[in-house]
Structure 1
């Protein structure tokens, strides 16, 4: 009798597990561009104070973050500590896909003939765009 109860409980648990697993699905990445997004590169003095504090705390390591204020979405991409100055960052793409916003940037180092300060730097870029509830994917 005890064995029968154990087998029935295991059968019920297995059935519930199969029903639960059947309801799950893996969402495929859909990064096809729907539209380009307009953006503005924001200088440090134009940043909201709270965002300035966050960047200051995180700038020594690579950072990928978003911040919303009012009707604006701020996208921040930092490249951590660099041994010298003279770096720049180029926005390669910012676009709306079906389920997300995609942001791609590139760190450009000083050229061979560029004279750059031998002081550590923390290159980062902040862009603002229209507010959206979609997640931002950094590429």
Structure 2
């Protein structure tokens, strides 16, 4: 009877230790390995198919990726805005053990230009988006 109890305790310890080991590995897989070099490209440099996809989605917020040859295009759109004057900044783009992580931020018109844009509001809605071009990674992209 005592042998069964000892074997059961040892089995439980081994299972708990193996579960703890898996949890640590997951954290390591999400840790930043390196920053990724990238280029922000304009509409004139986009592949035609990607232009059409963006045009279809631009009315609403979107987050998509597109692969062409050896390049990965990461696209983030902020949907229809009532005025122009917006810009988008890439806050972070890096590689982890299991994914590419990207974080962008929409910046509104500057205070001194806000009145000008609001005066033009009825005639000029905008659809701000950014396209980030980088080397292709065979990993999922995580948008923040």
Instruction: Assess same fold via TM > 0.5.
Output: yes
Question: Structure 1, unaligned stretches of length 5 or more?
Answer: 1-24
What is aligned with 1:66?
65
Runs of 4+ in structure 1 over 6 Å off: none
Q: Number of matched residues?
A: 115
CA distance in 1, matches of 2:30, 2:87: 26
1:1-139 maps to which residues of 2 (within 5 A)?
28=26, 30-114=29-113, 115-116=116-117, 117-118=120-121, 119-139=124-144
TM-score (norm. length: structure 1):
0.78
Question: Structure 2, unaligned stretches of length 5 or more?
Answer: 1-21
Which structure has the highest helix share of the two?
2
Q: CA RMSD in A?
A: 1.6
TM-score (norm. length: structure 2):
0.75
